[in-house]
Amino acid sequence: MADLKTDVRYIKGIGEQRAKALGKLDIHTLRDLISWFPRRYEDRTEVRRIADLVPGEAACVAAMAASTPTVSHVRKGLDLVKLRAVDETGALDVTFFNQSWLKNNLRAGETYVFYGRAEGNLLRRRMTNPVVEPEGRREATGRIVPVYPLTAGVSQLILSRSIRQGLNACADILPDVLPDEIRREHQLCRAGYAYENIHFPETAEALDLARRRLAFEELFLFTLGLRRLRRRREEVEVEPFRPVDMGEFYNALPFNLTEAQRRCVEEALADMASGRPMNRLCQGDVGSGKTMVAAACAYFCVKNGRQAALMAPTEILARQHYEGLAPLLEPLGVRCALLTGSNTAKEKRDLAARLSAGEIDFILGTHALITGGVEYQRLGLVITDEQHRFGVGQRAALAGKGDHPHTLVMSATPIPRTLALILYGDLDVSVIDQLPPGRRAVQTSLVDSSYHPRIYKFLRKLVGEGRQVYIVCPAVSESEEGGDDRKAVTEYAAKLQDEVFPDLRVAYVHGKMRPKEKDAVMSAFAARETDILVSTTVIEVGVDVPNAAVMVVENAERFGLSQLHQLRGRVGRGEWQSYCVLISDNRSEETRRRLKVMTKTADGFKIAEEDLRLRGPGDFFGQRQHGLPGLRVADIGCDAQLLREAQAAADALLARDPELKTCPATAARMAELFSEAEVTFS
């Protein structure tokens, strides 16, 4: 009997070679294998007759091979196998590309089931490259078939056969990490049934049961882990920070903090003075002024004789924070430095030496701050900006650089409550629910591309008044062949420069440029040396150029609402009326309705909820980018009710058994999940 840590190569029917292929998917152990869940399912239960095939629709059809397949060699690298299949209602022409081995597998007079998209017309039905198997095998047809995420050299069939073997090997030993009474109380099926049916569902109902059970399990373990993190933190004692006269800092600011900003600062300062490590999320819509809250906290920390670090997700942003804050804080005696991936090795060594010698008080940078050699002398506060780009693990890694430093997480993404509960279940939350005074709402309009001449004229007028302009093009998706954002951006910029604005200064920036180049372009834009900046969404997060007053988004339908909101947040940061122009030729009602939301509200929370409702959390965060340990089945947008149930169950369990002594399998699995995410409990 295998245990779940068994290397897949020792599982009957898998062996060295297949194990190696599976390794490419990071499937190493039996647990990895049976936890490789389908991305979706295809309902191939219904087997049709040829006459009932609908052109354009995928379906299964059972038909007899009417002749021996023919093979023709078209040219080098292109062989065709052709077959005519019939049933009592008609005939089907089947063509396979480069699968000449099928010639010997398909015999005249035998009946096969084909699954594929039907083509042709009522008189001649065709299928190209269908899935095929002998009638009665019911492996790839005639049932609900899982569709797995794949990689080169691992086909659907190999995966599902391997998983079959894996499930056979552990059918009897699958430990149930859910305590029995919780399982019963919440009407959840057993682990064995769940794993069997998530992969090989007998019926749609069985699949639902399996999914519900596994999603519950994930959310339950996740909640336990977060509760544990929080408790561990609350047990830690640190030296309380002393009160500091913040007047000096406030007087140095060019403006008064808003009341909401002040409240957030006070909450954070109180945390740091409490004798327990702070673990706070500061959430505020774009433009609400989170940077100054961070600066106030850093100042407070440094005046307590400790170092502060601020980690931003991009180099552009890190530099901008540095350039904004250093001139403010240096005169107040806070020694600032910038550390990013584009520092030379020597500069990095030098910075690291000064950090560990305590000669730097406030270090700003990218994730270079948490990589290898960086040591702090007395790290007291870690601030991460635009948190959703970092995983729980990275947050923990930076915190691990010191002896229980305080942590402050700044998030611009207004996260719907259900999601915040999951993502930040271990954090305290402050909300900046107020924009700095004098901001005017960004006028947003939705037009089609026939408006281009008028838009260009409008841009020219505003540039004439001294304003600057962003034009964003969508990243060409990777799946589209030959897609290249570079090209979209550079070509459009060249066209604008040559044909539309020969007398204006047009620049471009995209994600594939080297960080130094990107920085140079952004700095030039910030210094008003450029009038029009054409860009991909690399400018989406955080960048602050108050003089920019127009945001034009081409092909706006390609963006999520939250993303558009972030983009729009790049303008309207100064004293001028600002504009956001969404251009889309997509006339589908759904798209219009979605984009219209932008013209109707400026409230980031409303927009985020709408986005989540319309697109689901995968798009919201980027598929699997949320960095949450162990959430593979649970859908963090749609399983809100299940989340509440799982949280209630976890809390009830912890109330009666805080150390999880009665359920060792649960405790072990939770610890495993959280250590995979590099979150330690100590």
Report the site for ligand ADP in 396-435 (rule: CB under 6 A).
Answer: 412
* Shortest distance, position 312 Cβ to ligand ADP, whole Å: 10
Q: Is 384 in the site for ligand ADP (CB under 6 A)?
A: no
Query: Partners of 379 in the beta sheet?
Result: 307
Query: CB of 576 within 8 A of CB of 467?
Result: yes
The residue among 565 and 573 lying less far from ligand ADP, judged by its C-beta, is 573
Copy the structure tokens of residue 516. Answer: 């130094």
Query: Partners of 533 in the beta sheet?
Result: 470, 507
The 10 Å Cβ neighbour count of residue 382 is: 28
The residue among 162 and 413 lying less far from ligand ADP, judged by its C-beta, is 413
End-to-end CA distance of the chain, in Å?
A: 34
* Helix residue ranges per DSSP H, 424-501: 452-464, 485-495
Q: Which does 197 bind (CB under 5 to 8 A by kind): Mg ion, ligand ADP, none?
A: none
Q: Is 544 in the site for ligand ADP (CB under 6 A)?
A: yes
* Shortest distance, position 390 Cβ to ligand ADP, whole Å: 16
Q: Is 303 in the site for ligand ADP (CB under 6 A)?
A: no
* Helix residue ranges per DSSP H, 544-627: 561-568, 589-600, 604-615, 617-621
The residue among 292 and 409 lying less far from ligand ADP, judged by its C-beta, is 292
* Shortest distance, position 545 Cβ to ligand ADP, whole Å: 9
Side chain identity at residue 442, one-letter code = V
Instruction: Give which of 486, 584, 476, 492 is closest to 532, Cα–Cα.
Output: 492
Ordered DSSP codes for 313-376: SSHHHHHHHHHHHHHHHGGGT--EEEE-TTS-HHHHHHHHHHHHTT--SEEEESGGGGSTT---
Options 212, 573, 626, 669; binder of ligand ADP; rule CB under 6 A: 573
Binding mask 29-68 for ligand ADP (x = CB under 6 A): ----------------------------------------
Instruction: Give which of 655, 648, 607 is closest to 421, Cα–Cα.
Output: 648
Q: Is 290 in the site for ligand ADP (CB under 6 A)?
A: yes
Q: Is 310 in the site for ligand ADP (CB under 6 A)?
A: no
Query: CB of 72 within 8 A of CB of 95?
Result: no
* Shortest distance, position 604 Cβ to ligand ADP, whole Å: 10
Q: Which does 286 bind (CB under 5 to 8 A by kind): Mg ion, ligand ADP, none?
A: ligand ADP
* Contacting range for ligand ADP; rule: CB under 6 A; set: 327-335, 475-483, 542-550, 622-630: 542-550
Q: Which does 280 bind (CB under 5 to 8 A by kind): ligand ADP, Mg ion, none?
A: none
Q: Is 289 in the site for Mg ion (CB under 5 A)?
A: no
- Beta-sheet pairing, 336-339 with 362-365: parallel
* Contacting range for ligand ADP; rule: CB under 6 A; set: 98-106, 166-174, 538-546, 664-672: 538-546
Dihedral angle, C-alpha 93, 98, 103, 104, nearest 10 °? -150
* Contacting range for ligand ADP; rule: CB under 6 A; set: 61-69, 289-297, 357-365, 502-510: 289-297
Q: Is 578 in the site for ligand ADP (CB under 6 A)?
A: no
Q: Which residue is nearest to ligand ADP (CB)?
A: 289
* Shortest distance, position 284 Cβ to ligand ADP, whole Å: 5
Query: CB of 364 within 8 A of CB of 321?
Result: yes
Options 542, 569, 604, 629; binder of Mg ion; rule CB under 5 A: 542
Contacts of residue 408, defined as CB under 8 A and 6 or more positions apart, other chains included, come to: 268, 278, 280, 281, 282, 294, 297, 381, 382, 383, 384
Binding mask 133-172 for ligand ADP (x = CB under 6 A): ----------------------------------------
Q: Which residue is nearest to Mg ion (CB)?
A: 542
Report the site for ligand ADP in 269-288 (rule: CB under 6 A).
Answer: 284, 286-288
Report the site for ligand ADP in 507-526 (rule: CB under 6 A).
Answer: none
The 10 Å Cβ neighbour count of residue 61 is: 27
The residue among 113 and 286 lying less far from ligand ADP, judged by its C-beta, is 286
Query: Partners of 76 in the beta sheet?
Result: none
* Contacting range for Mg ion; rule: CB under 5 A; set: 135-143, 159-167, 517-525, 541-549: 541-549
Q: In what order do the strands lie in the sheet with 406-411?
A: 336-339, 362-365, 307-311, 379-385, 406-411, 279-284, 428-432
Q: Which does 289 bind (CB under 5 to 8 A by kind): ligand ADP, Mg ion, none?
A: ligand ADP
Q: Which does 288 bind (CB under 5 to 8 A by kind): ligand ADP, Mg ion, none?
A: ligand ADP
Q: Write the secondary structure of 253-271 as one string of H (helix), E (strand) and C (coil).
A: CCCCCCHHHHHHHHHHHHH
Q: Contact positions toward Mg ion, by CB under 5 A?
A: 542
Q: Contact positions toward ligand ADP, by CB under 6 A?
A: 255-258, 261, 284, 286-292, 412, 436, 542, 544, 546, 573
